[in-house]
Structure formats: structure tokens, C-alpha cells
Amino acid sequence: MILIVGGAGYIGSHINKELTKEGFETVVFDNLYSGKKELVKWGEFFEGDLANIEDIRLVFKKYLIEAVLHFAAYKAVGESVVDPQKYYKNNVASTLNLFEVMKENGVNKFIFSSSAATFGEPKYIPIDEKHPQNPINPYGETKLMVEHIMRDYDKAYGMKYVALRYFNACGADPEADVGEWPGSSSNLIPLVLDAAIGRREDIRIFGTDYETPDGTCIRDYIHVTDLASAHVLALKYLLDGKGSQCFNLGNGKGFSVREVIEAAKKVTGIDFKVVEVERRAGDPPELVADSKLARQVLGWEPKYADLETIVSSAWKWHQKVCKLIS
């Protein structure tokens, strides 16, 4: 049985689908703080909170857990700056609870949802695994702290791990079984689609004077189904007895904020209001991943690199779920 912590969320629900397709039995552990029970469509469900170690012990007692995938982190960068305690308690202290119970039960295979936020301001583009890690916000610090803890647990207790550092996760399951829940995200694409569908008045562009071709920030958008396939490959890698490793996950190509907005207008056929405002603090001009290592070691190959394909999958889901919740 594979334990998916935070499996009722956006990324976790896609991983649950892919693992099930590959023949794995899964159990989702989630407190439904931001996750949705409606997204748990495969495997077992256990409602519990990582902050309560007894909840974790109960799920390990009920199921024979072989490996753990962890997605239950707070991830709003701005909020982490104004309320760092919330982030260190949930993202670090609660993860230590999980590690303690894994150790008690002899479970030593762990896949961690890390982030490009561990790198901070880029020194060079594209960003590979050797790039210096200097987070510029508490959210990034929490992810890096867990990476360091995993390294120490491997040395001391033999816990083998794979840390997958996402760049910009986006899109939705091509069959629209699961996706990003409207109103629960600060990610660009769902916000743009909210503007298109009339759930918000406009979409804001934060800064149009960056040193990029169109003046707006460039990001590496990686389709969530491609992320999910990387997790399946990482799990198989660990189950094959391979050693601990960190991988960057992105398409290796960046798209600007303007390009995303124009793609959304083309896909939806709707011309929504766009407002240009000042830059946000801490937004680097460009973030693009070098994912050669994941391709070489895991045999991972992204299938949904085209921006319009990514936006189309998100739009299909967005329309479906907005009808359900309206």
C-alpha cells in the first residue's frame, strides 16, 4: 500500500490516479484543510492531520504501508512571509511526525514534493540540481529544511528518498477527472481562467518592465500529469533499491505572463480584462528548469509541453467543476 499524504489536493489527486493506473494500491491521508474529498476518486481515504502523531500511527496500524509520498505543505509564498510560524510548524514539524512514525514502522521509502523555491534568486538559467540553494522566503526555507532532514535520516536510519523540485505545476488531468479547485489557488492559469469565466473582474500582471522579451516574468510551466508520471517513476526507482536523489522537474522552456494570458484568450475564446500593476517583491524575471537528470536517471519525458495544450486541459476541468459548485 502506498500512502499519499495530502492526496486530496491538486497534485496529490493526480498522483493518486497515475499510481492506480500503474497497479499500485493507495491510501490518501488528508485533513481536508485545502484538499477536497471530491478529488479522492481512487484507493482508500483516511482523514487525519500530520500535526497529530496519533492520526499518523492509526493509518500505519490500519494499512501495511510500503512507501510514502508527501504533498501536505502550505505553499503561499506571501503568507509564509507574514506568518512563518504556520509554515515551519506544518511544513517541517509535522513532517518530522511523519518521519517518526515511518521509522517506528520500518518504512524507509519516501518521495517529497519539494520546490524551485529552494533555489531563490537564480544565478544562471536553466537551473540544474547543482545550482546554489538560497531561499528568499520561509516557504522555500521549509522545503530546503526537509531536504536537509531527509539527507540526515538517510545517513542515520537508511531512509531512502527522492526530492522532486517542481517549477510551475499547472494544467489538469486530460480526462478532467481531477484538477485544481477554483478559488483555492494563487497560481496564474486558474486565476486567468477565473477571469475568463467571470469569477473575477480581471487578471493582474505584476510588472511589465522586466528584462524579458515582452517585459513580463517568464516561468517554466510543467503539466501536472507530467509531474505525476515523474512520481510514479521515482517510486519505482526507490522500490528497485536505488539510492536517494534530488531532481528538478520542468519543461526546460519558459513562457511569459503575457503569453499565458494570450493562450487563455485563444483557448477560451473570451477577451477578459487585464490590468498592469507594479512588480511584486521577490519575483525573479525568469525561472526555467534543467531536467536532464530526471530524464537520464528516471527515464522521464514530459508529454504536455505545449502551452495551449496545458491551458486547454485546465479550461476543460475549470468549466466542469465551476458548473458543479455554482
How do residues 23-43 score in pLDDT, each as one tens digit? 999 999 999 999 999 999 999
Contact 248, 165 (CB under 8 A): yes
Contact partners, residue 312, CB within 8 Å, separation at least 6: 267
The pLDDT-based confidence of 323 (bands split at 50, 70, 90) is confident
Report the pLDDT value the prediction gives residue 38, as an integer from 0 to 100: 95
pLDDT tier, 7 (very low <50, low <70, confident <90, very high otherwise):
very high
Q: How many C-alpha atoms does 22 have within 13 Å on its Cβ side?
A: 19
Average pLDDT over residues 55-73: 98
Assign 223 a pLDDT band (cuts: 50, 70, 90): very high
% of the chain residues with pLDDT over 90:
91
The confidence score (pLDDT) of residue 245 equals: 98
Which CATH code, of 3.30.70.1450, 3.90.25.10, 3.40.50.300, 1.20.210.10, is assigned to 188-219+252-325? Answer: 3.90.25.10
Torsion of CA 207, 201, 314, 267, to 10 degrees: -90
| Phi, psi (degrees; rounded to nearest 5) at 7 | -75, -5
pLDDT digits (tens, 9 = 90+) for 254-308: 999 999 999 999 999 999 999 999 998 778 899 999 999 999 999 999 999 999 9
Query: How far, rounded to the nearest angstrom, does the alpha carbon of residue 99 sit from its chain's CA centroid?
Result: 20
Q: From edge to edge, which strands make up the β-sheet containing 255-256?
A: 255-256, 218-219, 286-287
Q: Which CATH superfamily is domain 2-170+221-249 in?
A: NAD(P)-binding Rossmann-like Domain (3.40.50.720)
Specify the pairing of strand 203-206 against strand 160-166: unpaired
The confidence score (pLDDT) of residue 187 equals: 87
Taking the model in full, what pTM does it have? 0.95
The set of catalytic residues is: 139
Q: What is the mean pLDDT of residues 233-256?
A: 97
Domain ranges of the chain: 2-170+221-249, 188-219+252-325
Q: What is the dihedral of CA 126, 132, 136, 139, to 10 degrees?
A: 90
Per-residue pLDDT at 324 exceeds 70: no
Query: What is the per-residue pLDDT for 45?
Result: 98
In the predicted structure, residue 126 carries a pLDDT above the cut 90: yes
